[in-house]
Chain A
């Protein structure tokens, strides 16, 4: 069991409202990711769920119980931190077992829980080492192990991959996804990296300035963003926003993803000049400067021999374009 419900959750520090009226329902076994730019309040929201920050108004419910004033250790949650936060004076075994020991469980039970978690995370060899003797990736696995040992209703992850290098980040991301499948536990995960959000989440919550902008499955957000902010935040490379009036569209801007534009040497379309090309092997990113739209990113699959200053024509797939008004709200114009 592990349902989480937020009802009109608010948090302010003095006069500053950090979280405003957040409503959210996370189902049992769901992998929910909070994503947003830095300072959007996603970590604060997570800490409110953990009980590390008091909630100013509204309710937090875990399995239907209001836990607004329950101390963190009694919420049956476990948290993994960006900085690992391992106890420097304890070895791996004691780091992982401290929570259960503290809860007064018998030694044998603690030992078997630690061994089981260590087995899942391939940490058996390191149980007697101190955190200082482990690499960054191993430390983060210990931190995840510490969370598993507690058998929590809710796993909370606070940017757990941000301190790892790129290769390790991909590997650990896969491990976390496997873990979620194996344990079937409810997980709430905070990240500023939309790739992590897209690859891990069952459901993504996009936050900005302490407000929820949109909630949905990764592909829902990709294919049907509610506003210009979500459209720009989800997807990599970022969506292009073209000048609406120049294209004869209704709204102020027309959003089109880099993968939905094709290039041609001449003919109909938006004329532009190549200002930079990135060859990645599997795909080629062409940056085209076009007035009055500015720099437009075009993503082509495979290898393409474009050179800087080439003149060419872009043809956006208007059927997959999104229209936004001057406030960034999505417009749904009738198909022409």
Chain B
């Protein structure tokens, strides 16, 4: 391959400028994460004396991680967060894709209105309904259960999922679906074995957009499931943030650990994600 710096379609100056901007942006975006990581392994004194310094032999202190792990329930919080996120993600993708398929594939009265109605949720924040949601959960006896969180997050993620997937479902070849109908496949088999694999990149995009707000959410766990057994990671970390004293070592260590699963999930989806975002751009 030709060296892109000296190819016919670009010159050194322009390429360097573009890279400089991207590098500056990358540093800006990653610096807070970097600060959290380096400070999480420093002693309390070192964090306050020189927060920007790298840990040295003198200032290295894993006390934060020790506190977090000894707190005992941290693994449980972690597990709760993971269950809630993965379950919500699963339902958002499943029901979102099904609704999108139906809206894109079938002609029925009110098709357009139904699509708009489902997309309305993008514009109205679900938190406006917190009081009503809490009342419903109390009435249903779901307070302090992970189920309540999964239900709320599924509702929160669906509008965007339906909206994005609908467009991609339209691009699945009609001939292909018709060939499958002639071969005797049921509508469910057509959806699962033909349509779903073809919109995989779009699914990954939706998965990432859905997953991050759920993982980071503090609001609904605090209101719907504040009990010890159902605390999520974000809520559990709050015990280190006191009104008068904050255990920064522990907070930073907890945050560092909380990054890991999101990064893992992102890596799983990212290859598909890039294909999803650029899909249709070149063909």
Which residues of chain A are within 8 angstroms of B181 by Cβ–Cβ distance? 51-52, 71-73
CB B191 to nearest CB in A, in angstroms, measures 14
Closest to B185 in A: A102
A72 to B182, Cβ gap below 8 A?
yes
Report whether B184 and A79 are in contact in the complex, using a CB–CB cutoff of 8 Å: no
**A151 vs chain B, min Cβ distance (A):** 14
- Please give me the residue from chain B that is nearest to A79 by CB atom: B182
By beta carbon, the residue of chain B nearest A147 is B182
User: Which A residues lie within 8 Å of B198 (CB)?
Assistant: 88
Q: Which residues of B contact A86 (CB under 8 A)?
A: 176, 179
Bound-state Cα–Cα, A172 to B176, Å: 21
A87→B180 contact, CB < 8 A: yes
Complex contact A85–B194 (CB within 8 A): no
Task: Assess whether A83 is in contact with B175, with CB atoms less than 8 Å apart.
Answer: yes
B118 to chain A minimum Cβ distance, whole angstroms, is 23
Q: Which B residues from 162 to 209 make CB contacts under 8 A with A?
A: 173, 175-176, 178-185, 193-194, 197-198
- Structural contact, A87 and B194, CB atoms closer than 8 A: yes
Interface string of A77-109 (1 = CB under 8 A from B): 111011111111100000000110011000000
- Return chain A residues, CB-CB under 8 Å to B180: 87
Instruction: Please classify the interface of chain B as helix (H, G, I), strand (E, B), loop, or mixed, using the class held by over half of its residues.
Output: helix
**CA–CA, A102 and B183, complex, Å:** 7
Shortest distance from the beta carbon of B184 to any chain A beta carbon, whole Å: 3
Interface check A50, CB cutoff 8 A:
yes
Query: Which residues does chain B contribute within 8 Å of A79, judged by CB atoms?
Result: 178-179, 182
- The distance in angstroms between the C-alpha atoms of A158 and B174, with both chains bound, is 13
Interchain CA distance A87-B181 in the complex, whole Å: 12
A158 to B175, CA, bound (A): 10
Say whether, besides A52-B178, A79-B178, A85 and B183 are in contact (CB < 8 Å): no
* C-alpha spacing A119/B21, complex, angstroms: 60
Query: Smallest CB–CB gap between B277 and chain A, Å?
Result: 21
For chain A, which range describes its interface: under 10, 10 to 19, 20 to 34, or 35 or more residues? 20 to 34
Which residues of chain A are within 8 angstroms of B178 by Cβ–Cβ distance?
47, 50, 52, 72, 79, 81, 85
Write out the residue numbers on chain A whose beta carbons fall within 8 Å of the beta carbon of B194: 87
Residue in A47, A81, A89, A98 whose CB lies within 8 Å of B197: A89
Contacts of B193 in A (CB 8 A): 87, 89
Contact call A85/B184, Cβ cutoff below 8 A? no
Chain B residues with Cβ below 8 Å from A51 are: 181
Q: How far is the CA of A71 from the CA of B179 in the complex (A)?
A: 13
Contact of B182 among A77, A87, A88, A89 (CB under 8 A): A77
Contacts of A77 in B (CB 8 A): 182
B187 nearest CB across to chain A (Å): 11
Find out whether the CB atom of B179 lies under 8 angstroms from the CB atom of A85.
Answer: yes
Give A81 to B193 CA distance when docked, in angstroms. Answer: 19
Cβ 8 A contact of B175, one of A82, A89, A98: A82
* B182 pairs with A50, CB closer than 8 A: yes
Residues of chain B in range 122-168 having any CB-CB distance to chain A below 8 Å? none
CA distance A74 to B184 in the complex (A): 8
Which of B173, B184, B197 is the one whose CB lies under 8 Å from A73?
B184
Residue of B nearest to A100 (CB): B183
Shortest Cβ distance from residue A73 to the other chain B in the assembled complex, whole angstroms: 3
Counting chain A CB atoms within 10 Å of each CB, the highest count among B175, B181, B194 belongs to B175
- Smallest CB separation, B199 vs chain A (Å): 12
Which residues of B in the span 43-89 have a Cβ within 8 Å of any Cβ on A? Answer: none
A-B pairs, top 7 by smallest CB distance, nearest first, are: A73-B184, A85-B175, A99-B183, A85-B179, A81-B175, A102-B184, A72-B182
A-B contact pairs, 19 of them (CB 8 A): A47-B178, A72-B181, A72-B182, A73-B182, A74-B184, A77-B182, A79-B178, A83-B173, A83-B175, A83-B176, A85-B179, A86-B179, A87-B193, A88-B197, A89-B197, A98-B185, A99-B184, A103-B184, A158-B175
Interface residues of B (CB under 8 A from A): 173, 175-176, 178-185, 193-194, 197-198
